Amino acid sequence: MNARAMLVHHTRYRYDRPVHLGPQTIRLHPLPGCATMIAHGLEISPAPSTQAWCHDPFGNRVARVTFDGRVTHFDITVALTTDQTPTTPRPLAVAPTARIWTARSVDDSPSLIAYRQSALTDATTPRLDALVADWRARLPCPTADLLMDLTRAIAAGITYRIRTEAGVWSPEETLRHGAGSCRDTAWLLIAILRRLGFAARFVSGYLFQPERCAPEQLGCELHAWAQVHVPGAGWVGLDTTSGLRAAQGHVPLAAAPRPQQAAPVSGLLDQCEATFEATMQTTVLPAPAACGPLRSSLSS
């Protein structure tokens, strides 16, 4: 059964006085090649002095906007139509030479260097060191099994926690707390994968899924997960909240070596008191034959 859904995502910033906004980068467009995207539109208030679509160094499609005068608010509205038709995940098409992962396996492609570099900030990482040693001791083993077992282990061993404060915990902090947000556990998985020789990157995006209290309705929220580069299969999404591979409900907006490089919105502004609010409304659309063709707007 075909299932199309439209998301209207409002992001609102309010400032306690007129402020100068530096150049702002908006990463709220699905990654190039995203198979589930049908249409996308972006509106900004107040109207920016300049607005340009481009690709950042990691291949993300981003909007860069500037404002000449002072502003008291900064509103971003995204209208995104996606195809949420359920699909059956296919087995990973791992290259024959990489089907068994060993302690010496490393994908040394120059384009993946940034995704294999350690980004740890802790002076010591005894918990992470011990965890990596446990998984390294399992090698050699089938690559696909290793990736899914590791993802499931983090989902089962780290309690999911909603954190409203900004920032991402280091892998050592997440292990110390035994809990973390989706972005914390994704970053933990990335740290382990890189130590095991994989290239891995942080992904921010939308997650469409049935509402808990009303399964017949579709909801959406900002989410974070990891992608690992598997020789032969390319980038594969792994969700440490569910312990599963990313599926059609995962709509990636930005992928980068570090979490801050994939933030939905980033930029400078004057010192001030700012408030933030975000709302999302999802509507399931009629079948394609009834609603007619849909076209992408603004961001094509």
Q: pLDDT tens digit string along 155-195?
A: 999 999 998 888 999 999 999 999 999 999 999 999 999 99
pLDDT band at 202 (very low <50, low <70, confident <90, very high): very high
Q: What is the pLDDT of residues 124-156, one digit of tens each?
A: 999 999 999 999 999 999 999 999 999 999 999
- Domain identity same for 123 and 247: yes
Question: Would you state the structure tokens that stand for residue 231, as one six-digit string?
Answer: 């020789």
Instruction: Look at residue 188 and tell me if it is in a domain.
Output: yes
pLDDT band at 213 (very low <50, low <70, confident <90, very high): confident
Residue 291 main-chain phi, psi, to 5 deg: -100, -10
Instruction: Look at residue 143 and tell me if it is in a domain.
Output: yes
Confidence at residue 16, expressed as pLDDT on a 0 to 100 scale: 96
- Domain identity same for 143 and 71: no
Confidence at residue 293, expressed as pLDDT on a 0 to 100 scale: 46
For residues 185 and 151, give the distance between their C-alpha atoms in angstroms, rounded to a whole number.
10
For residues 221 and 251, give the distance between their C-alpha atoms in angstroms, rounded to a whole number.
10
Calculate mean pLDDT across residues 269-275. 92
- Domain identity same for 44 and 115: no
End-to-end CA distance of the chain: 27
Question: Would you state the structure tokens that stand for residue 149, as one six-digit string?
Answer: 């077992």
**Domain of 240, in residue numbers:** 96-261
Q: What is the pLDDT of residues 57-84, one digit of tens each?
A: 999 999 999 999 999 999 999 999 999 9
Residue 3 has pLDDT above 60, yes or no: yes
- Quote the number of domains for the chain: 2
Confidence at residue 94, expressed as pLDDT on a 0 to 100 scale: 95
- Domain identity same for 131 and 63: no
Instruction: Look at residue 294 and tell me if it is in a domain.
Output: no
Question: Would you state the structure tokens that stand for residue 299, as one six-digit string?
Answer: 């961001």
- Domain identity same for 70 and 192: no
Confidence at residue 2, expressed as pLDDT on a 0 to 100 scale: 62
Question: Would you state the structure tokens that stand for residue 244, as one six-digit string?
Answer: 């599963």
Give the CATH number of the domain where residue 150 resides.
3.10.620.30
Angle formed at CA 228 by CA 198 and CA 7, multiple of 5 degrees: 165
For residues 16 and 73, give the distance between their C-alpha atoms in angstroms, rounded to a whole number.
9
Residue 289 has pLDDT above 90, yes or no: no
For residues 11 and 82, give the distance between their C-alpha atoms in angstroms, rounded to a whole number.
19
Residue 266 has pLDDT above 50, yes or no: yes
- Domain identity same for 78 and 25: yes
Is the omega angle on the peptide bond into residue 46 within 30 degrees of 0, that is, cis? yes
- Domain identity same for 50 and 130: no
- Domain identity same for 199 and 238: yes
pLDDT band at 46 (very low <50, low <70, confident <90, very high): very high
Instruction: Look at residue 22 and tell me if it is in a domain.
Output: yes
How many C-beta atoms lie closer than 10 Å to residue 49's C-beta?
10
Instruction: Look at residue 236 and tell me if it is in a domain.
Output: yes
